[in-house]
Amino acid sequence: MNTRTIEIMVGLFVAAAIAALFMLALKVSNLASYGQDEGYEIKAHFDNIGGLKERSPVSAGGVRVGKVVGINYDNQNFEAVVTISIQQGYQFPKDTAASILTAGLLGEQYIGLDPGGDEENLQPGDEIELTQPALVLEQVIGQFLYSKAQGE
């Protein structure tokens, strides 16, 4: 092989590596949405959302069914209001429960949906009534230390 062919091969390899790193960065940061813009929006109120962010995944039974599209604060009820976009084709009963869970070693937080048994489904604009806030490690450690101090 001549030098020119080797240089072209190395250049193509470097370009492919840069493209792969770019795609990996988009996937890790949840910026890549492969046609998941269509769907319907519902809301859920939480006492504490921990480190939940916009574009965080929403899953049910381990399957990604949507994403978080907005996070606001309700000054009347003093709660966080999370707007969730559910992909077309997924339906959930009105008594579905939403929990903020943690995945992986990096501690990425996501919303887990646990379907109920109601015969009517959630409609666009509905609110999830049953929610469980995020588990904040600092609060758990504080409660443990306080209970140990009271026991002595």
- pLDDT at res. 91: 93
- pLDDT at res. 150: 76
List, for the chain, all residue ranges whose pLDDT scores fall below the cut of 70: 1, 29-37, 105-106, 151-152
- pLDDT at res. 33: 56
Residue extents of the structural domains in the chain:
1-32, 39-142
Reduced to 3 states, what is the DSSP secondary structure of residue 7? helix
- pLDDT at res. 127: 93
Q: Which residues contact 94 (CB under 8 A, 6 or more apart)?
A: 116, 118, 120, 121, 122, 126
Kindly report the backbone phi and psi dihedral angles of residue 90, in degrees, each rounded to the nearest multiple of 5, phi listed first: -105, 130
Structure tokens of 93?
A: 């009963």
- pLDDT at res. 90: 93
- pLDDT at res. 13: 95
DSSP states of 12-40: HHHHHHHHHHHHHHHHHTT---SS---EE
pTM above 0.85, yes or no: no
- pLDDT at res. 151: 67
Q: Which residues contact 97 (CB under 8 A, 6 or more apart)?
A: 113, 114, 116, 128, 130, 131, 132
